[in-house]
Amino acid sequence: MSFFYWIVWGIVMPFMRIFFPTRVIGRKNQPKGKAIFVCNHTSNLDIILIECCRCDRPYVLAKHTLFKNKFIGAFLKGLGAIPVNREDVGTSTIRTTIKILENDKHLIIFPEGTRKETLDETTALKNGMALFSLKTKAEIVPMYLAKKPRPFIFNKLFIGKPIDLTKYYEMRPTKEVLNEVSNLVMEHMQKLKKDYEATLSPRALARRQRKIERDEKKHLKRLEKKKAKEIALSNENKE
C-alpha cells in the first residue's frame, strides 16, 4: 500500500500544485513523531490538497460516503484515507486510528464534519480527536485553510504549533475533559483564522465576509432540499 501511495502521490502532487497553488505557513511546526493534525473543512479536495502540502505521509479520516464509488474509494485508500461514519464511529475505525498513532504516524482529522469555508464560533468540535490524543499521547496540531480550493486561485494553509496537552494525559477521558480539550483546540484554530484575517485589507475582509454569507445561504438551501427529499421519500414508503 505504501508503494501505491507514492505512485499516486507522485502523479497527483504536480497536478495539485499547478492547479491549486497553496503556500504553507508554519511548516516547521510539524512534529517528527505521532501527531493529530486538525483542520477546517472547506471542500472534498481538502484531503488531497493538505496531503500534497506536507512532506510526511499522513493518514486521514474521511466520511464513508466518499468511498461509494469503487474507483474513488481505492484512490482515497491509496492516499491513506480511512472511511468513517461520523454518526456512528465503529470500533474497527477507532482501533485502526489508535494503531496508526501508536506507530508514530501522522493523522489528519476534519473535526467540523461539514464543509465550511471558515470556522464558526458556534461549531462544536467532535471529541474524537481529543480521545485519540489522550489515549495515545499524540500531540494535536491546529491547521487553517484560508479559502475553499479553486483552480488557479492562490491559497494559504496555516500550520500552528503543537498544543500542550500534558496535563490531560493522566485524566480519565470523561465527556467534560474531552469537551475541554476540544474547546482548547478550537481556540487555537480560531487564532490561526484571526491571524490570517488581520493580514487582509478592510475591502478584502468585507469581500470575504460577503462570500462566506453567500456560501452559508447556499449551504442552508442544500440542507432544506435534502430534508424535503427525505420527507417525500418517507411519505412514499408509508403509502
The number of domains in the chain is: 2
Using only C-alpha atoms, the chain has a radius of gyration, in whole angstroms, of: 19
Q: What confidence tens digit (pLDDT) does each residue in 53-95 have? A: 766 778 888 777 778 888 877 777 777 788 877 666 667 778 8
Residues 146 and 74 in one domain: yes
Residue 61 contacts residue 109 (beta carbons within 8 Å): yes
Q: How confident is the model at residue 28 (pLDDT cuts 50, 70, 90)?
A: very high
Kindly state whether residues 205 and 186 are assigned to the same domain: no
DSSP string, 34-59: -EEEE-----TTHHHHHHHT-SSPEE
Same domain, 231 and 131: no
Same domain, 135 and 207: no
- For the cut 50, the answer to whether the pLDDT of residue 122 exceeds it is no
Q: Which helix (H) or strand (E) holds 156?
A: strand 155-159
Interval 105-130 mean pLDDT? 67
Per DSSP, the three-state class of 62 is strand
Q: Are residues 207 and 193 in the same domain?
A: no
Answer yes or no: is pLDDT of 115 > 60.
no
Same domain, 89 and 180: yes
CA-CA distances (angstroms) from residue 4 to 15, 80, 227? 17, 10, 39
**Which amino acid type is present at position 155?**
N
Task: Give the pLDDT confidence score for residue 107 in this predicted structure.
Answer: 92
Structural domain span for residue 234 = 201-239
Give the sheet arrangement for strand 22-25, strand by strand: 22-25, 155-159, 139-145, 35-38, 106-109, 58-63, 81-84
Mean pLDDT across 220-226: 84
Q: What is the pLDDT of residue 239?
A: 65
Q: Residues 136, 101: contact at Cβ < 8 Å?
A: yes
Burial class (CB in 10 A: 0-12, 13-18, 19+), 56: exposed
Mean pLDDT of the chain: 83
pLDDT, greater one: 8 or 88: 8
- C-alpha dist (Å) from residue 51 to 5, 55, 108, 174: 11, 8, 9, 32
C-alpha cell at 47: 484531503
On whether both 161 and 60 belong to a single domain, the answer is yes
Same-domain pairing of 73 and 115: yes
**127: CATH:** 3.40.1130.10
User: Is it the case that residue 149 has pLDDT exceeding 80?
Assistant: yes
Domain identity same for 73 and 57: yes
Q: Which three cell numbers stand for residue 76?
A: 482515497
CA atoms within 13 A on the CB side of 52: 24
150 and 57 belong to one structural domain: yes
Same domain, 128 and 221: no
Reading the block at residue 6, the C-alpha cell is 507514492
157 falls in which pLDDT band (50, 70, 90)? very high
Cβ-based neighbours of 45, under 8 Å, separated by 6 or more: 20, 149
Looking up cell 461539514, which residue turns up?
A: 114
Q: Can you tell me the mean pLDDT for 191-201?
A: 93
234 plus 161 within the same structural domain:
no
